[in-house]
């Protein structure tokens, strides 16, 4: 039986961090054997908010290198750059005729971007969800691993697909949000305010490119408090977050020890020492990130290898994209 198609896009703005790693990338890595996976770097999308392209090529290379370092295998998945697949642009053009100005203007991310940059409300920004729909539909993808913030875009992609099918013939399946194997691990900012993100204070975000000292420093500065006031108390978010990180990188014994210390603590009898917890977590995190960082750096420096991977990804993507576009053109009488 043919494997189902999974697709996701990564914007090349900013460095990848632990929130991306535990929340998304590790999820992708687990999918690559069971699904026919397409993962790409959305460099066209970045133009809608970042018109200066002087750093773009570099960022695209970094994202590709970091994804491979995290375990994506370019032999198993199609790992490509959006701008290498011109079929996406053509489908975007067709889908633009099925997207209405009113619905595009109502999109949450559009309104947010207008608020943040009122001087750059370009048409590409307005039709961002149409380009994203083209990314997905060009491979007739069924499953799209994305976070909550992208669900509205995905719903729009379903609407455009349905309108197309209704007007020109049944070509597109209805793409759905997808997680592999249950709950995603959610990593909070180290100050406990919201999720870990690339735009917040850099001290509260651990990047895969951070060196050992930066990782240690950030973890040692993470928010804690005076300790639990009753045995078996509920952990505040920022404490839970440290335990969550520990659950991803530390040994079972280490985790069990700090859990037990936390649960046995009470007012005036605080057994858990957050300083020790953070020291241990920092040491384990340093060991965890080190090989990823060094592998990513090696790949990024090896331009020949990078170019080979990118070319190979584009070839795979264009086979599938070309087949879809042929169906689309036939259905629309554009042949
Ligand atoms: N909009 C997504 C984001 O901001 C990136 C993206 C572009 C994407 N095209 C996509 C995600 C297609 C999934 C499918 O993160």
How confident is the model over 61-78, as pLDDT tens digits? 999 999 999 999 999 999
Answer yes or no: 195 catalytic.
yes
Q: What is the pLDDT of residue 183?
A: 72
Q: What is the pLDDT of residue 136?
A: 98
What one-character DSSP code corresponds to residue 25? I
List the catalytic residue out of 195, 235, 279, 295. 195
- The sign of the dihedral angle between the CA atoms of 84, 86, 87, 92 is positive
Q: What is the mean pLDDT of the chain?
A: 96
- Give the separation between CA 52 and CA 38, rounded to whole angstroms: 27
Q: What is the pLDDT of residue 204?
A: 96
Q: What is the pLDDT of residue 59?
A: 95
Region 162-171: mean pLDDT is 98
Residue linked to tokens 């859990």: 259
Pocket test for ligand 1, best of 59, 108, 153 (most atoms within 8 A of CB): 153
pLDDT tens digits for range 19-49 = 999 989 999 999 999 999 999 999 999 999 9
Cβ(70) to ligand 1 under 6 A? no
Among 177, 139, 170, smallest CA distance to 156 is for 177
Answer yes or no: 113 catalytic.
yes
Neighbours of 23 (CB within 10 A): 19
Q: What is the pLDDT of residue 14?
A: 81
276 in a domain, yes or no?
yes
Cβ(85) to ligand 1 under 6 A? no
| 107 and 255 assigned to the same domain | no
Q: What is the pLDDT of residue 184?
A: 78
Cβ(150) to ligand 1 under 6 A? yes
- Give the separation between CA 134 and CA 160, rounded to whole angstroms: 9
pLDDT tens digits for range 257-272 = 999 999 999 999 999 9
Sequence-distant (≥ 6) Cβ neighbours of residue 262 within 8 angstroms: 228, 235, 239, 243, 271, 272
203 in a domain, yes or no?
no
Contact indicator for 241, 285 with CB cutoff of 8 Å: no
pLDDT band (50, 70, 90) for residue 147: confident
Kindly state the helix (H) or strand (E) to which residue 82 belongs, with its residue range.
none
* Share above pLDDT 70 across residues of the chain, in percent, rounded to a whole number: 99
- Which range has the worst mean pLDDT, 21-25, 81-85, 108-112? 21-25
| 108 and 224 assigned to the same domain | no
Residue linked to tokens 């109502």: 106
Contact indicator for 24, 33 with CB cutoff of 8 Å: no
Letter string b/e over residues 79-118, b meaning 16 or more CB atoms within 10 A of that residue's CB? bbbbbbbebbebbbebbbebbeeeebeebeebeebeeeee
Name the domain count of the chain: 2
141 in a domain, yes or no?
yes
Sequence-distant (≥ 6) Cβ neighbours of residue 195 within 8 angstroms: 19, 186, 187, 188, 189
Answer yes or no: 106 catalytic.
no
Among 203, 137, 201, smallest CA distance to 168 is for 137
| 174 and 225 assigned to the same domain | no
User: Residue 182 pLDDT > 70, yes or no?
Assistant: no
Region 286-293: mean pLDDT is 98
Region 84-106: mean pLDDT is 98
Residue 219: give its domain's CATH number: 1.10.240.10
Q: What is the pLDDT of residue 70?
A: 96
Sequence-distant (≥ 6) Cβ neighbours of residue 36 within 8 angstroms: 2, 3, 4, 5, 6
Q: What is the pLDDT of residue 142?
A: 97
Kindly state the helix (H) or strand (E) to which residue 220 belongs, with its residue range.
helix 212-220
Region 133-161: mean pLDDT is 96
| 65 and 116 assigned to the same domain | yes
| 33 and 11 assigned to the same domain | yes
* Share above pLDDT 90 across residues of the chain, in percent, rounded to a whole number: 92
145 in a domain, yes or no?
yes
| 309 and 261 assigned to the same domain | no
- Which range has the worst mean pLDDT, 129-143, 186-200, 232-246? 186-200
| 234 and 100 assigned to the same domain | no
| 226 and 317 assigned to the same domain | no
User: Residue 199 pLDDT > 80, yes or no?
Assistant: no
37 in a domain, yes or no?
yes
| 40 and 172 assigned to the same domain | yes
Q: What is the pLDDT of residue 335?
A: 87
Q: Where are the beta strands (DSSP E) in the chain?
A: 5-10, 36-41, 78-81, 143-144, 176-177
Q: What is the pLDDT of residue 109?
A: 96
User: Residue 150 pLDDT > 70, yes or no?
Assistant: yes
Among 324, 313, 319, smallest CA distance to 10 is for 313
User: Residue 1 pLDDT > 80, yes or no?
Assistant: no
Q: Which domain holds residue 283?
A: 210-296
What spacing in Å lies between the alpha carbon of 47 and ligand 1's midpoint? 13
Q: What are phi and psi of 152, to 5 degrees?
A: -65, -40
Q: What is the pLDDT of residue 131?
A: 98
| 88 and 223 assigned to the same domain | no
pLDDT band (50, 70, 90) for residue 2: confident
191 in a domain, yes or no?
no
Residue 151: give its domain's CATH number: 3.40.50.620
3-class SS at 144?
A: strand
| 289 and 310 assigned to the same domain | no
160 in a domain, yes or no?
yes
195 in a domain, yes or no?
no
User: Residue 288 pLDDT > 80, yes or no?
Assistant: yes
| 117 and 175 assigned to the same domain | yes
**Ligand 1 nearest-atom number relative to CA 10:** 5
């Amino acid at each position: 039986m043919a494997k189902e198609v999974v697709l996701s896009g990564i914007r090349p703005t900013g460095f990848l961090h632990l929130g991306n790693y535990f929340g998304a990338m590790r999820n992708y890595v687990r999918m690559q054997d069971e699904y026919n996976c397409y993962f790409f770097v959305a460099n066209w999308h970045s133009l809608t908010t970042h018109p200066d392209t002087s750093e773009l090529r570099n960022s695209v290379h970094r994202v590709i290198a970091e994804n491979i370092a995290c375990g994506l295998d370019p032999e198993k998945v199609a790992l490509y750059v959006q701008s290498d697949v011109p079929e996406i642009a053509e489908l975007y053009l067709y889908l633009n005729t099925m997207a209405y100005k009113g619905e595009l203007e109502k999109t949450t991310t559009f309104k947010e971007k207008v608020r943040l940059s009122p001087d750059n409300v370009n048409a590409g920004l307005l039709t961002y969800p149409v380009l994203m729909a083209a990314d997905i539909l060009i491979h007739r993808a069924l499953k799209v691993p994305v976070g909550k913030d992208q669900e509205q875009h995905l719903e729009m992609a379903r609407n455009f697909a349905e309108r197309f099918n209704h007007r020109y013939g049944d070509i597109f399946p209805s793409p759905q949000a997808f997680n592999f194997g249950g709950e995603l691990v959610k990593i909070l900012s180290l100050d406990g305010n919201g999720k870990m993100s690339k735009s917040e204070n850099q001290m509260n975000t651990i990047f895969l490119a951070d060196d050992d000292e930066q990782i240690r420093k950030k973890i040692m500065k993470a928010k804690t408090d005076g300790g639990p006031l009753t045995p078996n108390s509920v952990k505040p978010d920022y404490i839970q977050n440290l335990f969550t990180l520990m659950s991803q990188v530390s040994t079972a014994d280490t985790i069990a020890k700090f859990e037990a210390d936390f649960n046995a603590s009470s007012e005036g009898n605080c057994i858990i020492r957050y300083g020790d917890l953070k020291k241990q977590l920092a040491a384990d995190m340093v060991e965890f990130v080190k090989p990823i960082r060094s592998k990513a750096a090696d790949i990024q420096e090896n331009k020949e290898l990078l170019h080979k991977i990118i070319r190979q990804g584009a070839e795979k993507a264009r086979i599938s994209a070309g087949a879809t576009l042929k169906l689309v053109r036939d259905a629309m009488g554009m042949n």
